[in-house]
Chain A
Amino acid sequence: MTVSKKIVLRFPPTLVDQPVVYRLVKDYNLSFNILKASVTPKEEGLLVLELTGKEKDYQRGIDFLSRLKIKIQPLSKDVTRDEDRCTHCGVCIDVCPTQAFVLDPKTKRVEFYKDKCIACELCIKICPPRAMELHF
């Protein structure tokens, strides 16, 4: 059975320049989609990944990450859009760090690509009619 999960990884400074994700692919047959990657001022690495693979491989991959002292958290917050409230103004477009909002040049509607969202919550308070909702 294949699983696909969104997880938040926090790397200690010693691991920031290691090819950890590459090992996940090569040694554990997992595929990944990087949703966000950054290094904090304390040089701790932050990586939000969507990790996909066979359930067994997935578990082994996670064990491998834990052995490296990488902190793993599920990305459990979920941001959705109330389609009825959205006015398609576009104010959210330039606040979203992952470009989850895209203005369709033809329809002039603002499309929300939920799979790109990392639930940073920036758009929630920015959206004037409060169409963006946070769920736990």
Chain B
Amino acid sequence: MKTISEINERIKKGKVVVTTAEEIIDLVDRKGLKKTSKEVDVVTTATFAPMCSSGAYFNIGQPKPKIKLGGGKVYLNGIPCYSGFAAGDFFLGVTSLPDDDPKNRIYPGEFRYGGGHLLEDLVSGKDVKLEAYGYGTDCYPRKRLSAWVNINDFNEAILFNPRNCYQNYNAAVNLSKKTIYTYMGMLKPNLGNAHYCSSGQLSPLLNDPYYRTIGLGTRVFLGGRVGYIAWYGTQHNPKVERTKKGIPKEPAGTLALIGDLKGMKQQWLRGASFLGYGATLIVGIGIPIPLLNEEICRFTTVKDKDIYTKIVDYSESHPSGEKSNLGEVNYEELKSGKITVCRKKVPTASLSSYSKAKEIAEILKSWIEEGSFFLTEPVERIPSVNSKVGFKPLKERPIR
């Protein structure tokens, strides 16, 4: 048994022992669970994948004379932002698209520049065009503002992602006769390919399946600097089917993350385009797990072959909202490049980058070892399997 403050003490003294969620697997195999859980203090987990429920809020200070953005309109590089806040604030979502983007009118749409690309441009220090329209009040008389700004011109630029870090995700296939373009990528007809999106054995919530250590207020790596868990994420759904070891077999827990966009790195926040689907942001996240006891240590030894997910048809059952399951498959099989679905050999590809996730886990490890990153006691637990929190489809009550 260890406490977080004991681990922090060891970080301060330069004596902390940190491994990545990949390294711990071998270590426990070699030395056993008991010894390893005593010797190792922290395991680092990570993911680097497209996460559409991401965005940032900004405060512009005020030009002279002042303008009321609230209730008006705000564009950055032509991308519409949400301005329903106070006079100086607005929010930018990563899937937002310019009004004149053809979207899917020319099918499949390319979505070359959206909110995610704009965030990447801001993080890399580029100037972007701010255009704002206010309706004019006695205290905020200005009606129009058009100016170049970069990230340093804002008072605050805060990344705030309502849903990141999905604990497991579907493997997507296409049973239909035509190619489909989805948020899981281009899916070829007649089971032509299967796409998955999880860093598997490195993925944060798969290494702490019941959220024993990861909680509200946990300090994390977000986009290349320190961030925090603000809340559990939207669609958080802990009560799904799990394996005997407690690993969810379908999309389950999620996290809402927050952090200062200033100082984040372009390398870990990448604008992305999904053909026929839309624009988004690829987000880099790393989460430390303190090995407080043997059980927590055992959870971090989860391997790709212990993590199962369901194969879901994205041509019909997923869009119509029907449950479908064409079988279960584990991440070792998915990563081998080929799986079998309905007796057919299907090539696989990933949307989430394992090699980049590994890099993030290594960076977080070095921050902790250097003594520049300390662990936090969660302020509150994330709702787990015994809570009331869960996902439900919308019960549509038609307006007559």
Contact = CB atoms under 8 A, between A and B. Distances in A.
Given A89-B352, A94-B349, A107-B355, A126 B282 contact: no
A128 B354 contact: no
Nearest to A95: B186
A18 B146 CA distance: 67
A93, A103, A108: residue with the most chain B Cβ atoms closer than 10 Å? A108
A90 B192 CA distance: 16
Contacts of A91: 185, 195, 349-351
Contacts of A108: 354-355, 358
B353 A94 contact: no
Contact of B186 (A85, A87, A126): A126
A13 interface: no
Contacts of A92: 349
A123 B352 CA distance: 17
A74 interface: no
Contacts, number: 63
B110, B195, B272: residue with the most chain A Cβ atoms closer than 10 Å? B272
Contacts of B275: 125-126
Nearest to B108: A125
Contacts of B352: 89
B50 interface: yes
Given A128-B50, A130-B112, A89 B350 contact: yes
Contacts of B282: 87, 128-129
A129 B270 contact: yes
Contact of B273 (A87, A89, A93, A128): A128
A87 B193 contact: no
Nearest to B358: A108
Interface in A82-136: 85, 87-95, 103, 107-109, 125-126, 128-130
B274 interface: yes
B112 A93 contact: no
Contacts of B358: 108
B347 interface: yes
A44 to B, nearest CB: 24
- Chain A interface residue count: which class? 10 to 19
A89 B351 contact: yes
B337 interface: yes
A92 B272 CA distance: 14
A44 B280 CA distance: 41
Contacts of B273: 125, 128, 130
Determine chain A's interface SS by DSSP, over half rule. loop
Contacts of B337: 93, 103
Interface in B179-225: 185-186, 188, 192-193, 195
A128 B283 CA distance: 13
Given A87-B48, A87-B282, A129 B349 contact: no
A108 B353 CA distance: 8
A40 B48 CA distance: 40
Interface string B322-348: 000000000000000100000000011
Contacts of A126: 185-186, 275
Nearest to B277: A128
A90 B349 contact: yes
B101 to A, nearest CB: 15
Nearest to B359: A88
A103 B348 CA distance: 11
Given A94-B193, A126-B185, A126-B275, A88 B356 contact: yes
Contacts of B193: 94
B347 A87 contact: no
A108 B349 CA distance: 12
B356 A87 contact: yes
A87, A92, A129: residue with the most chain B Cβ atoms closer than 10 Å? A87
Contacts of B227: none
Contacts of A128: 50, 185, 272-274, 280, 282, 351
Contacts of B354: 88, 108
Contacts of A88: 353-356
Closest 3 CB pairs of A and B: A128-B272, A94-B193, A108-B355
Interface of A: 85, 87-95, 103, 107-109, 125-126, 128-130
Given A88-B356, A90-B350, A108-B358, 17 more contacts: A87-B48, A87-B270, A87-B282, A88-B353, A89-B49, A89-B349, A90-B351, A93-B337, A94-B192, A94-B193, A94-B348, A94-B349, A126-B185, A126-B186, A128-B282, A128-B351, A130-B273
